[in-house]
Amino acid sequence: MVTSISVELVPRSRESVLADAALAATYSAVTHINIPDIARFSLRSVDAIRSIRERFGDRFVYVPHVRAIAGTKLGTDFPGDIALIVQGDMPVQFDPSKISYAADHIASVSDRIRVMAGIDPYRSSPKHELALVEAKIAAGARGFFTQPFFSLAQLRYWDTILPNTVDIFYGVSPVTTEASLLYWRDKNHVVFPRNFSWAPSRQVAFAQRVIRFAQAHGRSVYLMPIRIPLALYLSKVFARE
């Protein structure tokens, strides 16, 4: 199985996201483009995806984030190949009824668009998160993107308990400053391993190890270079290309 690799691009502006997509396109290993919907930016995820698709055609699989509580309509003009449903600000599990579908478009949407959801290893207990995973699958999710892992041991554990019947993209986000570490620790309740290092070389090496793990286990990878220059990060992660 060829491992898919999705790269998250931050939609600060149409110009910046097109430049980032052009950079990502130079790496053959990058198969998917993932765009979060960030409230403080005026460019919406679906609009960013639409612009990238107009420029790059079928070069990527396109994954806009869709906030379930926003009532986004997944009509025939939806620009993504995958709708990544995120929960927004409500503590609810994935529920397609939260999305507003035009009644006469349901069949065409279900044929063309894959619906995926999120996994958060830090939200609560593994037992509770797995129950949410099963509920999301029952509701129609065909795969998952995880929050980033910062330990290969933790990733290995989750790989043993997550189902093999759906696609899983394991998240990786470089942490290269103390401020970034505190963000993940305080806002997302991440517990970092004792030997964790935010040295850029260690973060690149970790991303490469996750890619090799995914290749060996039939999984995929979701790179989130949020606070590091995209060009620098990708050039190091894919240094052998």
pLDDT for position 70 = 55
Q: What confidence tier does 71 reach under pLDDT thresholds 50, 70, 90?
A: low
pLDDT for position 166 = 93
Mean pLDDT of 71-81: 76
- 4, pLDDT greater than 90: yes
Helical (H) or strand (E) element with 108: helix 106-112
Q: What confidence tier does 75 reach under pLDDT thresholds 50, 70, 90?
A: confident
Print the domain residue range for 58. Answer: 5-237
CA distance 118 to 115: 11
pLDDT for position 189 = 92
Report the CATH number at residue 64: 3.20.20.220
- Rounded to a whole number of angstroms, the CA Rg of the chain reads 17
pLDDT for position 68 = 66
Q: What are phi and psi of 105, to 5 degrees?
A: -110, -5
pLDDT for position 2 = 64
pLDDT for position 90 = 40
Helical (H) or strand (E) element with 102: none
Mean pLDDT of 26-37: 96
Domain count, the chain: 1
pLDDT tens digits, 83-126? 998 865 443 444 554 443 332 332 334 556 788 889 999 988 99
Identify whether the C-beta of residue 223 lies closer than 8 Å to the C-beta of residue 6. yes
93 vs 196, more confident: 196
